[in-house]
Copies of this chain bind each other. A is one copy, B any other.
Amino acid sequence: MSNSNYDASVLIEALPHIQKYYGKTVVVKYGGNAMINEELKDAVIHDIVLLSLVGVRVVIVHGGGPEINAMLKKIGKKSEFVKGLRYTDRETMDIVQMVLCGKVNKDLVTLINHAGGNGVGLCGIDGGLFQAVRKTDEDGTDYGYVGEIRKVNPEPVMDMLESGYIPVISTVAQGMDEDTGYNINADLAASKLAVALQAEKLILLTDVRGLLLDRNDESTLLPEIKVSGVPKLIKDGVIAGGMIPKVDCCVEAVREGVRQANIQDGRVAHSILIELFSDNGVGTMFF
A15 to B2, CA, bound (A): 11
Contact with B along A122-142 (1 / 0, CB 8 A): 110111100000000000000
Contact with B along A20-64 (1 / 0, CB 8 A): 001000000000000000000001001101100111000000000
- The number of times this chain is found in the oligomer is 6
Q: Which of B9, B126, B175, B270 contacts A43 (CB 8 A)?
A: B9
A77 to B107, CA, bound (A): 22
With contact pairs A1-B15, A102-B103 given, residues A126 and B119 touching in the complex (Cβ less than 8 Å): yes
Does A110 interact with chain B (Cβ within 8 Å)? yes
Q: Taking the nearest CB of chain B, how far is it from the CB of A162, in angstroms?
A: 8
Does A286 interact with chain B (Cβ within 8 Å)? no
Task: Please tell me if the beta carbons of B174 and A2 are within 8 angstroms of each other in the complex.
Answer: no
Does A114 interact with chain B (Cβ within 8 Å)? yes
Does A100 interact with chain B (Cβ within 8 Å)? yes
How many chain A residues have a CB neighbour from B under 8 Å? Answer: 74
Task: Please tell me if the beta carbons of B97 and A103 are within 8 angstroms of each other in the complex.
Answer: yes
With contact pairs A75-B74, A118-B128 given, residues A18 and B97 touching in the complex (Cβ less than 8 Å): no
A11 to B55, CA, bound (A): 14
Task: Please tell me if the beta carbons of A15 and B106 are within 8 angstroms of each other in the complex.
Answer: no
Does A274 interact with chain B (Cβ within 8 Å)? yes
Does A212 interact with chain B (Cβ within 8 Å)? no
Task: Please tell me if the beta carbons of A46 and B15 are within 8 angstroms of each other in the complex.
Answer: yes
Task: Please tell me if the beta carbons of B172 and A43 are within 8 angstroms of each other in the complex.
Answer: no
Contact with B along A77-99 (1 / 0, CB 8 A): 00000000000000000100111
Does A177 interact with chain B (Cβ within 8 Å)? no
Which residues of A pack against B, CB within 8 Å? 1-3, 6-19, 22, 43, 46-47, 49-50, 53-55, 71, 74-75, 94, 97-103, 105-106, 109-110, 113-116, 118-123, 125-128, 156, 159, 163, 165, 172, 174-175, 179-181, 269-270, 273-274, 276-280
